[in-house]
């Protein structure tokens, strides 16, 4: 089997990466590659950076996150630049717990999982290699073997700062096994693995009455007391708590603020001093990044309790809001569907977009600017051009509500409703109307929606429905128009010729007779009226088109059908208006004649071949658009 061969190759690769030597040999490695001694925070930052960084609309986009987290570029940029980067430089941020705070299903757990899986892969690379004292249960940093009085000289020679002290167990081993000869201490390369409990720890709160602090810090092995004679002998202690095992890497606290207080106090010295107390030993050094996540209500409750002030001051709180970009929300649904068992069901084009539209509207807050509707705001946040608005306007809107995106409908609800529709009706194809209907039906059973919210959400469903009506009509319009792009280009060129003549007070030449003729006012108005350009506004609109053409020419670019959003819309509507009667008759006739049937089949074929429908969803679309036109 190919899979067995690949498993064997992976095993051989890992075997080839293994390394074991003495501390003296490890120091030789450090001379060549000083980055091998980087801290846990530095390793994580370097891992993110090594995947590549792109810049889009002034926002940094980190490739490390881009395949799993969508629409959170600004939050992730803040996270990397305000936490990971300064922590990697050993600034005071390193001594803080990273607390991800946001709504359910907003991506907090996914983000932490990405960091954990990323570290597992990164430690298999040269840049992410980690070395530890051999057979140490805490995978301790070999540089802890350097005595305190020599560390300043070591830093001068190697350029590496050493933090932390040798653990009680390794101090005893150094004395008994190696006779205090640090150069002979065995060092090995380790590979992070959550499953093997190497470099990655996870702690989840349970019943406070049954949970033991040993889950975090390890415990005494009572069976060895008779052998070693004392509970304070490090050999009688199991260094198997999550804080022990996460040393050198990452420690995740799931729902951290639900933990019992006695668990949280251990984090005070760990974050500030880089050590924690376990058993009857001196403080144990640990180099690990602590990341926790919680929701907003629990966080507010936590900071309102004065007893938590010390811990709160040792946290860096990073809000992880819901995505507010329409296109990215659609990508989230596509990803969730690909991971589910409903991936074989045909989902008609625009279905997920319309569902995403409803979801984004529930997360937005009404702008303080009177001329900005929720729909316009949604499109502006999606980086789409909306006439009369600039990037500065969008940036101003984003500053109106710092907590925007912390409430609203979560992606899981949408996927649950899609799944419910498919399973209940055993449908092989679903469209936007099916999903909107299911979203509406599900609001009654949603546990956290108030009566006022429900009324707003029903309005958002109506808005999404109207947007779908327009999309559906345009889709059928394009399918009905033979050689649509060519027809649109011809009509646009004709319009532009007339506009140019009108603005320059010139005449046009008839291409057949050669006669001079006045600009075709009727043609120009028939197009302009499609987008509500009044008689008084026509001159300004035409001059604006001409200025846009000149600007394109100066830049050496060609002004085409896609160059002006409103003009493109006008051309589309004009073409469809000319064909509307044909569409109405063809889609609404119960007994179409042979010519109409042929046209219907052509349209269905175009929708299937060019626009991603299947036969069922294409026919559903035609019937729906026919009903819209006949209203």
pLDDT in tens, 546-570: 999 998 888 888 888 778 888 888 8
Specify the domain boundaries for CATH 3.40.50.300 within the chain: 3-319
pLDDT bin (cut points 50, 70, 90) of residue 86 is very high
Residue 85 has pLDDT above 70, yes or no: yes
Planar angle of CA 40, 42, 48, nearest 5 degrees: 105
Give the separation between CA 94 and CA 84, rounded to whole angstroms. Answer: 8
Helices (H), 289-364: 296-304, 309-312, 326-338, 351-363
Give the pLDDT mean for 391-409.
90
Query: To which H or E segment does residue 99 belong?
Result: strand 97-101
Encoded tokens for 140: 């301790």
Contacts of 302 (CB under 8 A, 6+ apart): 257, 294, 308, 312
What is the per-residue pLDDT for 68?
92
Closest CA to 378 of 71, 55, 67: 71
Q: Please write the tens of the pLDDT for every residue from 101-129.
A: 999 888 999 999 999 999 999 999 999 99
Task: Please count the other Cβ atoms lying within 10 Å of the Cβ belonging to residue 174.
Answer: 20
pLDDT bin (cut points 50, 70, 90) of residue 601 is confident
Closest CA to 323 of 62, 71, 67: 71
Give the separation between CA 449 and CA 476, rounded to whole angstroms. Answer: 37
pLDDT bin (cut points 50, 70, 90) of residue 256 is confident
Give the pLDDT mean for 207-223.
77
φ, ψ for residue 499, nearest 5 deg: -65, -45
Planar angle of CA 437, 439, 445, nearest 5 degrees: 120
Residue 97 has pLDDT above 80, yes or no: yes
What is the per-residue pLDDT for 482?
57
Closest CA to 72 of 97, 105, 118, 42: 105
What is the per-residue pLDDT for 48?
97
What is the per-residue pLDDT for 379?
94
3-state secondary structure of 238: strand
Give the separation between CA 497 and CA 254, rounded to whole angstroms. Answer: 65
Decide: 119 and 249 in contact? Cβ < 8 Å.
Answer: yes
What is the per-residue pLDDT for 462?
95
Range 3-319 has CATH code 3.40.50.300: yes
Give the pLDDT mean for 613-627.
89
Q: Please write the tens of the pLDDT for every residue from 436-462.
A: 999 999 988 877 788 889 999 999 999
What is the per-residue pLDDT for 209?
64
Q: Please write the tens of the pLDDT for every residue from 202-212.
A: 988 776 666 77
Contacts of 91 (CB under 8 A, 6+ apart): none
Residue 501 has pLDDT above 80, yes or no: yes
| Range ranked top by mean pLDDT from 133-147, 544-558, 605-619 | 133-147
What is the per-residue pLDDT for 588?
67
Query: To which H or E segment does residue 53 belong?
Result: strand 53-56
Give the pLDDT mean for 152-177.
93
Q: Please write the tens of the pLDDT for every residue from 332-351.
A: 999 988 887 777 789 999 99
Decide: 359 and 326 in contact? Cβ < 8 Å.
Answer: no
Judge residue 338's burial from the number of C-beta atoms within 10 Å of its C-beta, 0-12 exposed, 13-18 middle, 19 or more buried.
exposed
Closest CA to 545 of 530, 528, 529: 528
3-state secondary structure of 98: strand
Lowest mean pLDDT among 263-267, 296-300, 490-494: 263-267
What is the per-residue pLDDT for 210?
63
Dihedral sign computed on CA atoms, order 220, 224, 228, 230: positive
What is the per-residue pLDDT for 424?
72
DSSP assignment of 493-508 equals: HHHHHHHHHHHTT--E
Of the two residues 175 and 509, the one the predictor is more confident about is 175
Residue 580 has pLDDT above 80, yes or no: no
What is the per-residue pLDDT for 568?
85
Residue 389 has pLDDT above 90, yes or no: no
pLDDT bin (cut points 50, 70, 90) of residue 425 is low
Q: Write the DSSP symbol of residue 407.
A: S
Task: Please count the other Cβ atoms lying within 10 Å of the Cβ belonging to residue 65.
Answer: 23
Judge residue 140's burial from the number of C-beta atoms within 10 Å of its C-beta, 0-12 exposed, 13-18 middle, 19 or more buried.
buried
Pairing of the two strands 429-430 and 346-347: parallel
Closest CA to 94 of 272, 277, 309, 292: 272
Of the two residues 1 and 424, the one the predictor is more confident about is 424
Residues in the chain: 631
pLDDT bin (cut points 50, 70, 90) of residue 173 is very high
Q: Please write the tens of the pLDDT for every residue from 174-199.
A: 999 999 999 999 999 999 999 999 99
Decide: 508 and 501 in contact? Cβ < 8 Å.
Answer: yes
Give the pLDDT mean for 43-61.
91
């Amino acid at each position: 089997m190919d899979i067995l061969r690949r498993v064997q190759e992976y095993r051989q690769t890992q075997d080839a990466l293994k390394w074991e030597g003495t501390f003296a040999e490890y120091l030789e490695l450090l001379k060549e590659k000083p980055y091998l001694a980087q801290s846990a925070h530095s390793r994580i930052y370097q891992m993110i950076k090594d995947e590549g960084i792109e810049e889009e609309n002034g926002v940094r986009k980190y490739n490390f996150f881009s395949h799993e987290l969508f629409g959170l570029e600004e939050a992730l940029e803040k996270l990397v630049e305000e936490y990971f980067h300064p922590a990697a430089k050993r600034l005071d941020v390193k001594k803080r717990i990273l607390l991800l705070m946001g709504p359910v299903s907003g991506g907090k757990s996914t983000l932490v999982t990405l960091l954990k899986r990323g570290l597992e892969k990164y430690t298999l690379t040269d840049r992410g290699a980690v070395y530890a004292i051999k057979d140490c249960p805490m995978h301790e940093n070999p540089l802890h073997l350097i005595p305190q009085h020599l560390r300043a000289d070591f830093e001068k020679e190697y350029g590496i700062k050493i933090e932390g002290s040798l653990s009680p167990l390794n101090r005893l081993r150094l004395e008994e096994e190696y006779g205090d000869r640090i150069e002979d201490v065995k060092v090995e390369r380790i590979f992070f693995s959550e499953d093997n409990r190497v470099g990655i720890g996870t702690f989840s709160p349970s019943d406070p009455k049954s949970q033991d602090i040993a889950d975090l810090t390890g415990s005494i092995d009572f069976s060895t007391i008779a052998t070693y004679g004392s509970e304070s002998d490090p050999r009688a202690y199991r260094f198997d708590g999550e804080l022990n095992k996460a040393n050198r890497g990452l420690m995740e606290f799931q729902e951290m603020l639900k933990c019992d207080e006695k668990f949280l106090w251990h984090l005070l010295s760990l974050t500030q001093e880089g050590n924690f107390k376990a058993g009857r030993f001196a403080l144990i050094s640990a180099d690990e990044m602590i990341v926790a996540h919680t929701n907003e209500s629990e966080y507010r409750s936590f900071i309102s309790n004065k007893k938590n002030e010390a811990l709160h001051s040792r946290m860096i709180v990073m809000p992880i809001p819901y995505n507010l970009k329409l296109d990215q929300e659609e990508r989230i649904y596509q990803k969730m569907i690909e991971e589910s068992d409903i991936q074989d069901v045909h989902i008609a084009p625009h279905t997920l977009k319309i569902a995403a539209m409803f979801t984004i509207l529930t997360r937005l807050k009404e702008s303080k600017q009177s001329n900005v509707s929720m729909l316009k705001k949604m499109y502006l946040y999606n980086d789409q051009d909306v006439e009369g608005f600039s990037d500065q306007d969008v940036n101003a809107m984003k500053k109106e509500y710092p907590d925007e995106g912390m409430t609203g409908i979560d992606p899981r609800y949408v996927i649950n409703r899609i799944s419910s529709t498919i399973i209940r009706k055993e449908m092989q194809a679903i469209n936007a109307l099916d999903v909107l209907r299911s979203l509406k039906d599900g609001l009654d059973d949603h546990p956290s929606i108030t009566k006022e919210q429900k009324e707003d959400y029903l309005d958002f469903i109506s808005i999404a429905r109207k947007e779908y009506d327009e999309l559906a009509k345009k889709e059928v319009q394009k399918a009905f128009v033979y050689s649509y792009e060519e027809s649109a280009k011809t009509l646009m060129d004709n319009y532009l010729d007339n506009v140019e003549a009108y603005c320059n007070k010139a005449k046009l030449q008839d291409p057949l007779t050669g006669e001079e003729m006045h600009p075709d006012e009727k043609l120009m108005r028939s197009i302009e009226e499609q987008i509500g350009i009044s008689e008084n506004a026509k001159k300004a609109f035409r001059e604006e088109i001409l200025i846009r053409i000149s600007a394109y020419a100066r830049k050496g670019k060609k002004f085409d059908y896609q160059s002006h959003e409103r003009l493109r819309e006008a051309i589309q509507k004009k073409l469809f208006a000319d064909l509307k009667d044909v569409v109405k008759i063809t889609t609404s006739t119960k007994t179409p004649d042979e010519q109409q049937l042929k046209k219907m089949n052509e349209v269905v074929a175009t929708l299937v071949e060019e626009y991603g429908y299947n036969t069922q969803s294409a026919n559903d679309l035609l019937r729906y658009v026919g009903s819209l036109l006949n209203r």
